[in-house]
Structure 1
Amino acid sequence: MIQRWLRLLALAAALALLGTIQAAPTDLVSCLSDIKSTSNASYLTTQSSASYKTERLVFDRNFDYLPLAIYHPGSEEDAAAAIQCAATYNVAVTPRSGGHSYEGYGNGGKDGSLVMNVDKLQKIEFDPATGIVTVGAGVRLGPLYTYLWENGQYLIAGGTCPSVGISGNALGGGLGMLSRKYGMLSDTVVGLRMIDAKGELWEANDNNNSDLYWALRGAGSGSFGLVTEFKIQAFKAPDKVTTMLIHWPFNMTRKVIEAYGRWGSPSLSEDLFPAMRFEKQIELQINFLGSLADAEAALAPLIQDAGPPSDKVVHEGTWMEAAILWGAVPNLEAFRNPDLTAHRYHRGRSLLYREPLSSADIDIIIEYLTHPPEHSTKVFVIIDIWRGKIDRPHTPSAFDAHRAVYHSINLSVEWKGDSGNASASAEECLAWSASFMSKLEDVFPGGRPNVEAYQNYIDRDLTNWLEAYYRGGLPRLQALKTKFDPQNVFSFPQSIPPMAGKFNSQ
């Protein structure tokens, strides 16, 4: 490893003497091809590879970027060597886990990046004595949840979609149906391993490299290095989990949102996670860690305030049954082996609120959902209630910027298409989404400069996005970026930049 790094440094120096700022792309490919793999699993995909056309695609087909190459490391040593190659030839590195970024950053967010696809890092090891699970960066949520369930009926507090990768979910926060009980997924990460831009491996936890440990949990999605492994605190699943799907007609939107805001007070049971979806009707999704009787009691004040629903479907069962329901798959096997070819054409955006939605917010939501784009296949708004254990993490982290959030709001539009942004349907839907978001920013409490948003629903059009995602933690994050990646090797359109004067644009 040291000899390779010295050889690459010598080559870079020689190129600099010749006045060359960036070598031809084929030199990077040659460097990557020259890696003597320590793992038979590692492989390289280039633009001339037969599989490149499909490998570069991400879940959201609205994005169609062209990576310079895609490297699949099967070991940390191979990953370090590939990162050293990219640093030598001044090529931006972008990590990819599940490929579900709202801005397509899993394939660089721009043309010409080196994508580090961690799909070969598939370790899952569980220690029942501590309840800590060690997870490779390429593991998907569905297989991980299934493994923990089948090895003692444990759970972790992550997202709901089984095809989502653990890395982006945990590094950006990780909101899910267990968050009010256990906190964000990032709050339950007790250790990480990360390779920096020099190819050096760092272990970060509360006792070692605590500054990096702080940054990676909430702001670590590809800005500081390549995270290869997580240690996550798991919890024993409760004996009973109750799920509910409750519907009201769309014409009750104002009354239901107002009642929902009053109901979601700090006294709301932490065993309960509610997500309210507004589409052609109103659907309240309830996940309650306990019995049906206790769930009904917790829900009763909302029903009394909002008015009787048009229908209600309830089920008292196991955590795994609830996970399958929220994952929108038919059975356990589909959850264990999620369809990795599934995709959509979609634009999502989010805002975070520290108080219930105002009358002006509700007016805008009703207006835009009542007048969707002509060529959209689906438009919806999801309002989640936060608080609970989210506000009481076991140790400080970069996600502390979003403690005491009351609601998150996620607005989305989907359409059919096969040509990305070039299609008329996409243009119409993207314009609708941008206008919707702009109107909400206009009436945001304190005005546009105070907009706050959730990094895992990343949005490059967002006003003041660095402040919206990281708030008061931004100066510390930029200082750490400068420490671990001063040349900005790990970069994409919304990565955290080094401090002023240290930024080397890729």
Structure 2
Amino acid sequence: MHLHTLGSATLLLAISSFAFAAAPTPSPQLATCLKPLGSKVITSKSSAYAQQRYAFDLRYTFQPEVIVMAQSETDVQTAVKCAKQANIPVAPRSGGHSFEGYSIGGQDGALVLDLTGLNGVKVKGSKAKVGAGVRLGKLYLELFNQGGWTINAGTCPSVGIGGHALGGGFGLLSRKYGLLIDRIVEMEMVNADGELLTISATQNPDLFYALRGAGGGSYGVVTSFTILPVKPAPKVTSFSYEWNLSDYAKVLKAYVNFQPTASRDVGVEMNVASSGLELYGIFQGPKGTQSAAMASFLKAAPKPRSSDVRESRQIDAQLRFAFVEGGNNDKDINALALQPPYHPGDSRYTKGKSLVYPSVLKSSTIALLGKWAAKTPKGSTANYIIVDLWGGAVSDTSASDTSFIHRDAHTVFEFVAEWDESSSPKPGKPDCKDCLKWMNDMYSEFLADYRANYSTSVRGYQNYIDLAMPNWMDAYYGQAVPRLKQIKASVDPANVFRFPQSIPLK
């Protein structure tokens, strides 16, 4: 999904004058406990509260009891201890892009632990230690600058690595290198008692299992990741092809039939919208080889109305699909640092859902893609369905090795509605009712088709978390649920880390 953030100065101007109901105030006990953190503690009496209480999606206006702008692991430890003592839930915030506002608690009265101050990136040998508050754009830039490395993560530069990685972390290199969790070899995590733990295959192995797939705020606050970065091909090829929506049936049939035989060097997504279909991706190799790798698909599909195929370095390909506005030209890789004047533009109002398909799409499913993409809700600035091709290295790891269960996924759908796009966004505006109706009516039809043609056990991707997901615990975690509950009860019996879709104690 193309989720982005506006510049902080613009956002502050937009929301500083926005009126909101009285926010909770910390109890004297909590205020005293947090006092050593000084100005890092933001309450409703602080001038910064109006800006920091919001995450990416301005639909969500939850009011934290307190926000801690952590600058170190010690800050995180202090904040967690104080929250446990005061019996208020802890909400870690890396990039703030949770689809349901869980990075600001998903409810009023949480202690939001903002991790953006923990944003170091250090490559040493064949490993990279990465702070949990770094955003993907800066991470790609730092890895490139420290030896030409990259990682197998998503495209959106403003997304924080924390939630992205702990929910799996799919991207355009996943068919070649697996999910991001598959290249994480160690983590540091503050537990419910405020202890800083090392998590790996040999140290706290139960948490190493749980965090890689179900770690988004349920077990503790991850403060750093040690990742095995990858060296991309010297020359890669980024590409896009476009078709009219009227060609959807033939294009999508060719696309899903391409998955089983496609080279692992091919990473692709298909965007299906009223404006047409766009296939875009990155091939790990030069332009001449890319044409051969895509030949079977392009032969089966109708001729595209347009195409754009470019040979470049991997970092340039990543910049192309980061949709970063500003700068002198699209080769200015420093735009990935997301420093002013660079700021991605999309709407700050959005609703998303997902479905994980285990096999080649049936004709009935393809027909639904064409039907619902053709509809444009009144008030929408964008509505679309992204169809990701999975397979390849994603399936190399056993579903029992991590808590990520979707190893056999053939395709994953992300359903998106956006509205109220603005350069000066204001929080808490009324929802676009027609956008949500489009989403809900469409999703109901896809669910019925899914149950009839694939499985009665519906599956969804937890990084596109949805409060209305049917039987959400099974949909996201399936056979891993019993073990995840046992680990939760063992490491957080007081349920300090809780939100509407956190792993429960029992």
Letter of the 1:429 partner, please give it: C
Map of 2:445 onto structure 1: 439
Q: Do the aligned partners of 2:359 and 2:409 also contact (CA within 8 Å) in 1? A: yes
Q: Which residue does the alignment assign to 2:114?
A: 117
| Equivalent of residue 471 in structure 1, options 473, 478, 485 | 478
One of 380, 385, 402 as aligned partner of 2:389: 385
Does the 8 A contact of 2:58 with 2:428 survive in 1? no
Taking a change above 3 Å as real, the CA distance of residues 246 and 36 of structure 1, as seen in their structure-2 partners, is closer
Q: Distance in 2 between matches of 1:225 and 1:285?
A: 36
SS in 2 for 1:145: helix
Superposition TM-score, scaled by structure 1 size: 0.89
Output the CA distance in 1 between the equivalents of 2:234 and 2:429. 51
Instruction: Measure the CA separation in 1 of the matches of 2:42 and 2:49.
Output: 6
1:171 Cα deviation (Å)?
0.6
Candidates 429, 437, 459, aligned match of 2:435 = 429
Which stretches in structure 1 are left out of the alignment for 5+ residues?
1-22, 500-506
Is residue 27 of structure 1 aligned with residue 28 of structure 2?
yes
Question: RCO (CA 8 Å, sep 6+): is it higher in 1 or 2?
Answer: 2
Aligned pair partner of 2:78 in 77, 81, 95: 81
2:497 alignment counterpart: 490
Q: Partner letter of residue 144 of structure 2?
A: W
SS at match of 2:163: helix
Aligned length, in residue pairs: 469
Which aligned pairs between 1:46-61 and structure 2 lie closer than 5 A?
Answer: 46-61=43-58
Tell me what 2:15 maps to: none
In structure 2, distance between residues paired with 1:320 and 1:99? 24
Structure 2 residue identity aligned to 1:74: Q
Structure 2 residue aligned with 1:143: 138
CA shift, 1:412, in A, is: 0.6
TM-superposed CA distance for 1:25, in Å, is 3.4
* Residues 34, 82 of structure 2: 8 Å contact kept: no
Instruction: Give the aligned residue type for 2:438.
Output: W
Partner letter of residue 471 of structure 1?
G
**In structure 2, C-alpha distance between the alignment counterparts of 1:84 and 1:152, rounded to whole Å:** 39
Alignment CA distance shift 1:465-1:235 (3 Å): same
Structure-to-structure mapping, 1:77-226, within 5 angstroms: 77-128=74-125, 131-226=126-221
Q: Which amino acid aligns with 1:165?
A: G
Provide the residue aligned with 1:315 in structure 2: 310
| Structure 1 residue 141, shift from structure 2 partner | 1.1
Contact 2:397/2:407 (<8 A) preserved:
no
Matched, 1:43 2:51: no
- Which digits, 9 at most, give the CA deviation of each residue in 1:149-189, with x for residues without a partner? 11211111111111111111111111111111111111110
Match of 2:266 among 258, 261, 272: 272
Distance 1:229 1:59 in 2: 22
CA contact (8 A) 1:72 1:116 kept: yes
Distance 1:76 1:374 in 2: 46
Provide the C-alpha distance between the structure 2 equivalents of 1:449 and 1:24, rounded to a whole number of angstroms: 46
Amino acid at match of 1:406: H
Structure 2 distance, partners of 1:322, 1:162, is 13
Instruction: Indicate conservation of the 8 Å contact 1:187/1:395, yes or no.
Output: no
How far apart are the structure 2 equivalents of 1:85 and 1:457?
A: 31
Offset, 1:115? 0.5
Q: TM-score, normalising length from structure 2?
A: 0.89
* Per-residue deviation, 1:122: 2.0
- 1:97/1:317 CA distance change after superposition, 3 Å: same
Query: Is structure 2 residue 384 aligned with structure 1 residue 362?
Result: no
Q: What's the CA shift for 1:448?
A: 7.4
After superposition, the Cα gap between the structure-2 partners of 1:460 and 1:395, relative to the gap in structure 1 and judged at 3 Å, is: closer
Q: Which moved more, 1:209-218 or 1:430-439?
A: 430-439
1:333 to partner: Cα distance: 2.1
Unaligned runs of 5+ in 2: 1-23, 325-329
- C-alpha displacement at 1:419, in angstroms? 6.5
Identical amino acids, percent of aligned pairs: 36
Kept in 2, the 8 Å contact 1:28–1:86? The answer is no
Q: Distance in 1 between matches of 2:168 and 2:56?
A: 20
Q: Secondary structure at the match of 1:401?
A: coil
C-alpha contact 1:121 1:138 (8 A) present in aligned 2:
yes
Larger mean Cα displacement after TM superposition, 243-252 or 445-454: 445-454
Match for 2:402 among 384, 395, 398?
398
Q: Secondary structure at the match of 2:294?
A: helix
In structure 2, C-alpha distance between the alignment counterparts of 1:234 and 1:173, rounded to whole Å: 16
1:408: how far off?
0.5
2 CA distance for matches of 1:464 and 1:119? Answer: 33
Q: Which has the larger radius of gyration?
A: 1
